[in-house]
Chains A and B, each alone.
Chain A
Amino acid sequence: MGSALHKAIELILSADAELLNILSVTARMSLQSSLLALLLGVPLGIWLGACRFPGRGVLVVANRTLMGLPPVVCGLLFYMLFSGVGPFRHMKLLFTVKIMVMAQVALITPIIISNMETYVAGIAPAVRETAKGLGLSGWKTFALLCNECVYQIISVYLLAFARSIAEVGAVSMVGGAIAWKTNVMTTAIMQYTNRGSFSLGIALGMILMATSLLVNIVISLLQRRLSR
């Protein structure tokens, strides 16, 4: 572990071009996918949590099942669809960052929906009562509800980001771990491990954790400020 720490520091200080590329691809992929999933998942989650309609229970159970979708299965699905012989072959998306983002969004969105749904279902009755007492319209009730969710949304975003930066099964399948193009931290760690360069793998893992720590500190501070 000690030599790995030295290597990690050395790697960062050397500003190795390939490492910088891996870092930038990782950042691009995980930021894009977590934000897209947030945009999709939060409205759906609030809708599922706040509204009562027939078939809601089925949707909730279906969504919770999707939360357990194994990343490799998700990756395999996208691989088959966008393969050279797959139905979407003309889009030429296989082994690009775009398809990695798509696979990640498919994996993360159910988690966001479920988290939002659980939270909103808990606070919705109270919010509805307050809104009724104040005589607020439907839209204003919705706005009030969203306002109550801000703290939760930030927590959920952190979850989404952590999940997408740490994921390896799906991205290695659809991205192919191609150097200078689709190689992210996790797939690079796998490659180093296969070459026996364990300390280099651990070094990359440390950089990954440090990045995660930074993002978490920034967002937690933001969360505190917003919730005050």
Chain B
Amino acid sequence: MKKILSLLLVCVMLFGLAACGAAEKPAQTGAPTPAPTEAPTAAPTEAALVVDTCILKEADDKMRNTYTLLAVNPDAPFTDADGNAVSDVAVNTAGADALIHWMLSQEALDMAGNYGVAEYGEHLFYVKDDAPVYTGEIAPATEETKTIRLSTTTSVKDSGLLDDLLPVFESTYGYTVEVQSAGTGKAINAAKFGNADLILVHSKSQEEAFVEAGFARVVDGFEAERISFIYNFFVLCGPSADPAGVADCDSVLDAFAAIAEGKYPFISRGDASGTHTKELSLWPEALGITADAASFADYTDWYISANAGMGACLVMAEEMGAYILTDKATFLTFVANDGVME
């Protein structure tokens, strides 16, 4: 018995030594991540050691990324996996109303608009000028309505926005918000399967299809099903050397055309997310790239459909020196988190 124990101890110690030995190396080069630079061309060499991928093209009107809240309609034409109608799907409408009312209150809008300024030195999200502001009463939680299921896109969760906002709402009104984050396509599907009370997504075409199919409802105090309230910008990122020269292109459309022209590697999310939908709309029409895998079968030497989350795709882009479209909030958070393997 004693022999075994001492053997184990030796193993643990060896493991510890090996790990500490490895610790020495990054400690020497491990300069803190420099703040992500805005300058498209002049990426400092020091930054290149840590994260080479940088923002090359941004603040183009085409790159606006608008986030929309939609409340799920309990009387929507839900169907099960076999296509049979299901009528009694449980949806917490009162809870969804309360959360939407609060998200559109001046307090929450101010918090969202100022999120990230302290940490990243710039706004991660902006409040839309024409966002409807709710000034009425917000119903506190009851036993039946206290759990709210929010299905949302990864960017608002991974950038930390929801972790910043929701605790205030929860502690003031007594609700518990269960956040499920996935790409916009998946988030919308979760609602269609009756697994969400409201959704927060960013893909206009998919939202409109959702409304048209009767899955959304108008919340008291608002005029339309789609409540667009905050936005930020998609940014085109790539290696700091920028072989395709996208930073000098006049518009983002020209930039995408230049990437396709030169067949420079490009990482596509490929997962029906809002970012993926946006990217598909930016390629030159002649290429005919759509969500269908057959449409880019001829471009596989440079167009990489990763079918993965934003973080995983950013790692791929960094490793391959590829171009990538991402929302700015996720990119800044990713870089600030030291988003590169040592």
Most chain B CB atoms below 10 A, which of A85, A92, A94, A181: A85
For the complex, give the distance between the alpha carbons of A2 and B20 in Å: 6
Picked from B26, B154, B314, B338, the residue with its CB within 8 Å of the CB of A2 is: B26
Instruction: Name the segment of B54-62, B240-248, B259-267, B329-337 touching the other chain.
Output: B329-337
Check if B106 is an interface residue, CB within 8 A of chain A.
no
Decide: B194 and A83 in contact? CB cutoff 8 A. yes
Evaluate whether A196 and B23 lie within 8 angstroms (CB atoms) in the complex, with A84-B89, A85-B86 already known. Answer: no
Decide: B19 and A178 in contact? CB cutoff 8 A. no
Decide: A176 and B180 in contact? CB cutoff 8 A. yes
Check if B195 is an interface residue, CB within 8 A of chain A.
yes
Decide: A86 and B149 in contact? CB cutoff 8 A. no
Output the least CB separation between A165 and chain B (Å).
19
Check if B312 is an interface residue, CB within 8 A of chain A.
yes
Residues of A close to B81: CB separation below 8 A = 80, 85-86
For the complex, give the distance between the alpha carbons of A84 and B341 in Å: 39
Decide: B312 and A178 in contact? CB cutoff 8 A. no
Evaluate whether A195 and B311 lie within 8 angstroms (CB atoms) in the complex, with A85-B86, A178-B178, A224-B1 already known. Answer: yes
How many chain B residues touch A (CB < 8 A): the figure is 45
Check if B310 is an interface residue, CB within 8 A of chain A.
yes
Within 8 A of B (CB), among A1-22: 1-3, 5-6
Decide: B180 and A178 in contact? CB cutoff 8 A. yes
Within 8 A of A (CB), among B158-202: 158, 178-180, 193-195
Residues of A close to B179: CB separation below 8 A = 178-179
How many chain A residues touch B (CB < 8 A): the figure is 32
Check if B129 is an interface residue, CB within 8 A of chain A.
no
Residues of B close to A197: CB separation below 8 A = 337-339
Within 8 A of A (CB), among B72-88: 78-81, 86, 88
Evaluate whether A176 and B178 lie within 8 angstroms (CB atoms) in the complex, with A84-B78, A196-B337, A196-B338 already known. Answer: yes
Residues of A close to B315: CB separation below 8 A = 196
Residues of B close to A181: CB separation below 8 A = 178
Check if A137 is an interface residue, CB within 8 A of chain B.
no
Check if A104 is an interface residue, CB within 8 A of chain B.
no
Residues of B close to A194: CB separation below 8 A = 154, 158, 309-312
The prevalent SS among residues of B at the interface is mixed
Check if B30 is an interface residue, CB within 8 A of chain A.
yes
Within 8 A of A (CB), among B316-342: 333-335, 337-342
Check if B294 is an interface residue, CB within 8 A of chain A.
no
For the complex, give the distance between the alpha carbons of A85 and B315 in Å: 36
Picked from B8, B22, B89, the residue with its CB within 8 Å of the CB of A89 is: B89
Decide: B194 and A195 in contact? CB cutoff 8 A. no
Output the least CB separation between B330 and chain A (Å).
8
Most chain A CB atoms below 10 A, which of B22, B30, B79: B22
Check if A157 is an interface residue, CB within 8 A of chain B.
no
Taking Cβ atoms with an 8 Å cutoff, the residues of B that contact A are 1, 4, 8, 19-20, 22-27, 30, 78-81, 86, 88-91, 149, 154, 158, 178-180, 193-195, 309-312, 314-315, 333-335, 337-342
27 contacts between A and B (CB under 8 A): A2-B23, A2-B26, A3-B23, A3-B26, A3-B30, A6-B23, A80-B81, A83-B80, A83-B194, A85-B79, A85-B194, A87-B80, A89-B89, A94-B195, A191-B158, A193-B311, A193-B312, A194-B310, A195-B333, A196-B314, A196-B315, A196-B333, A196-B334, A196-B340, A197-B338, A197-B339, A217-B8
Taking Cβ atoms with an 8 Å cutoff, the residues of A that contact B are 1-3, 5-6, 80, 83-87, 89, 92, 94-95, 176-179, 181, 191, 193-200, 217, 221, 224
Closest 5 CB pairs of A and B: A84-B194, A2-B23, A196-B339, A194-B311, A196-B334
